[in-house]
């Protein structure tokens, strides 16, 4: 009998929260033998809705679920947290400038970072899903100086999974045959999905496809704009696929990447590949025993270099903006 792992989810009453919580409680986040305790953080007006989701979780009678606490106080929500999924964020509304958006999210992620600093367990792992995810992660991390910086990560796994799916559709390969794909940079329209090191059933993906125009004009924009296409089709933003990617991100971080493969995570840069140290940018990473490492030594060609640089430049601008606002 293992001690339950404390998993905190913010924005628990939202649509990603709804798709996520059942999967955490049924063992998909950490494994089929790991009991979990859930802490749901919501804003006060949404506590009732969070309660409703919790009632449904009760009604699933999940054997691994050892308790659910619901609160609007970050200090309570992150107390003893081992894993924190920061999903709740302030969306951009009509007429909102980027500065307003960053400031509104600073009002959420700074106190949450502080509460993680003061109350979370020593082994805390944080995934930021709420947008702008990379910069929200930076804000939370800056507010948590006592927590090792590398525990703060941002989600680009949905972009990674979308890119794999597009490559599978293009080539007729099975998704399980596609390895070593990389998302570089920001989780935004500037992100760069890189197939030059990817393999499809053991063959180099870029060589197999052999069509840079397809990459530039179809593949990259389709992946980067997939979120907008989902909104257009569904009338609501990605929820099940976003929740699935959050599950994948934490599961891979905790349980490791397969031999010969890697994944994409937004993580604090150590300066690798010319990404300024400290920016939370997406990299190819391998994971083992709950830790990750950037894949080193990849050759970055002339097609990739300016695309990585443009997305990193956007991250640097977001960092400068939140610094000017006193948020980091
Ligand atoms: P919803 O609007 O359905 O839910 C958000 C929830 O967060 C609401 O229930 C709200 O009350 C709550 N919330 C707001 N402020 C809070 C605070 N201070 N503390 C706790 N809870 C708070 O949005 P949903 O569709 O679930 O999306 C959540 C976030 O994920 C958005 O920021 C969205 O942009 C982002 N996404 C990120 C993705 C990624 O790949 N990184 C992809 C999917 C998604 O678009």
pLDDT at residue 278 tops 90: yes
Q: How far is CA 179 from the centre of its chain?
A: 19
CA nearest 288: which of 262, 309, 257, 316?
257
Residue whose pair of structure tokens reads 């992100």 in the numeric block: 191
Position 269 scores a pLDDT of: 98
Q: Are 161 and 273 in contact (CB under 8 A)?
A: no
* C-alpha to C-alpha distance for 117 and 256, rounded to whole angstroms: 25
Ligand 1 probe mutation, 8, 10, 14, 18, most atoms within 8 A of CB:
14
Q: Confidence band (pLDDT; 50, 70, 90) for 287?
A: very high
Where do runs of H (alpha helix) occur along 34-156?
A: 47-60, 74-77, 98-119, 133-142
Listed in sequence order, the residues at least 6 apart from 309 whose beta carbon sits closer than 8 Å to its beta carbon are 274
pLDDT at residue 1 tops 80: no
Q: Confidence band (pLDDT; 50, 70, 90) for 91?
A: confident
Q: Does 305 appear as a known binding residue?
A: no
Distance 246 CA to ligand 1 centre (A): 13
Ligand 1 probe mutation, 9, 12, 237, 264, most atoms within 8 A of CB:
237
The H or E element spanning position 183 is strand 182-184
Q: Confidence band (pLDDT; 50, 70, 90) for 94?
A: confident
Q: Are 121 and 290 in contact (CB under 8 A)?
A: no
Closest atom of ligand 1 to 41 CA is 20
Q: Helix or strand or coil: residue 67?
A: strand
Hey, whose CA ends up nearest to atom 9 of ligand 1?
Answer: 14
Tokens of 249: 């991100």
Q: Does 12 appear as a known binding residue?
A: yes
Position 95 scores a pLDDT of: 84
Position 267 scores a pLDDT of: 99
* Interval 117-131 mean pLDDT: 98
Position 316 scores a pLDDT of: 98
State the greatest distance between any 2 C-alpha atoms of the chain, in Å, as a whole number. Answer: 55
On the 0-12 / 13-18 / 19+ scale of CB atoms within 10 A, 293 is middle
Cis peptide before 16 (omega within 30 of 0): no
* Interval 23-37 mean pLDDT: 97
Q: Does 112 appear as a known binding residue?
A: yes
Q: Does 180 appear as a known binding residue?
A: no
* Interval 229-240 mean pLDDT: 96
* C-alpha to C-alpha distance for 322 and 165, rounded to whole angstroms: 34
Mean pLDDT across the chain: 97
Pocket lined around ligand 1, Cβ cut-off 6 Å: 10-11, 13-17, 41-43, 46, 87-89, 91, 108, 129-131, 133, 155, 158, 187, 227, 237-239, 242
pLDDT at residue 202 tops 90: yes
Position 2 scores a pLDDT of: 87
Tokens of 202: 């053991």
Ligand 1 probe mutation, 46, 88, 135, most atoms within 8 A of CB:
88
pLDDT at residue 98 tops 90: no
Catalytic residues: 187
Question: Within 13 Å, how many C-alpha atoms sit on residue 253's CB side?
Answer: 26
pLDDT at residue 97 tops 90: no
* C-alpha to C-alpha distance for 256 and 290, rounded to whole angstroms: 7
pLDDT at residue 92 tops 90: no
Whole-prediction pTM: 0.98
Position 241 scores a pLDDT of: 98
* C-alpha to C-alpha distance for 280 and 89, rounded to whole angstroms: 17
Q: Confidence band (pLDDT; 50, 70, 90) for 257?
A: very high
């Amino acid at each position: 009998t293992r001690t339950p792992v404390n998993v905190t989810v913010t924005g628990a009453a939202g649509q990603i929260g709804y798709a996520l919580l059942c999967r955490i409680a049924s063992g998909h986040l950490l494994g089929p033998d790991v009991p979990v305790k859930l802490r749901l953080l919501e804003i006060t007006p949404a506590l009732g809705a969070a309660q409703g989701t919790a009632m449904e979780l009760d009604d699933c009678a999940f054997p691994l679920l050892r308790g659910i606490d619901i609160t609007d106080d970050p200090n309570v929500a992150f107390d003893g947290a081992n894993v924190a999924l920061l999903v709740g964020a302030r969306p951009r509304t009509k007429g909102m400038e980027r500065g307003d958006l960053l400031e509104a999210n600073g009002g959420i992620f700074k106190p949450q970072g502080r509460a993680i600093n003061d109350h979370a367990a020593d082994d805390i792992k944080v995934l930021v899903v709420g947008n702008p995810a990379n910069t929200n992660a930076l804000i939370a991390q800056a507010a948590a100086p006592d927590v090792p910086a590398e525990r703060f990560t941002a989600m680009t796994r949905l972009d990674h999974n979308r890119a794999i799916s597009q490559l599978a559709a293009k080539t007729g390969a099975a998704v399980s045959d596609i390895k070593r794909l990389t998302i570089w940079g920001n989780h935004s329209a500037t992100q760069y999905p890189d197939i030059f090191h990817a393999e499809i059933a053991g063959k180099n993906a870029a060589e197999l496809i052999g069509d840079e125009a397809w990459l530039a004009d179809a593949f990259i924009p389709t992946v980067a704009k997939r979120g907008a296409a989902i909104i257009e089709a569904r009338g609501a933003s990605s929820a099940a696929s976003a929740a699935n990617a959050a599950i994948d991100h934490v599961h891979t971080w905790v349980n490791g990447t397969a031999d010969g493969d890697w994944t994409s995570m937004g993580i604090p840069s150590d300066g690798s590949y010319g990404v300024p140290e400290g920016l939370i940018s997406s990299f190819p990473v391998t994971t083992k025993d709950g830790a990750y490492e950037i894949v080193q030594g990849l050759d970055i060609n002339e097609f990739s270099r300016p695309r990585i640089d443009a997305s990193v430049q956007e991250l640097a601008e977001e960092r400068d903006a939140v610094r000017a606002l006193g948020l980091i």
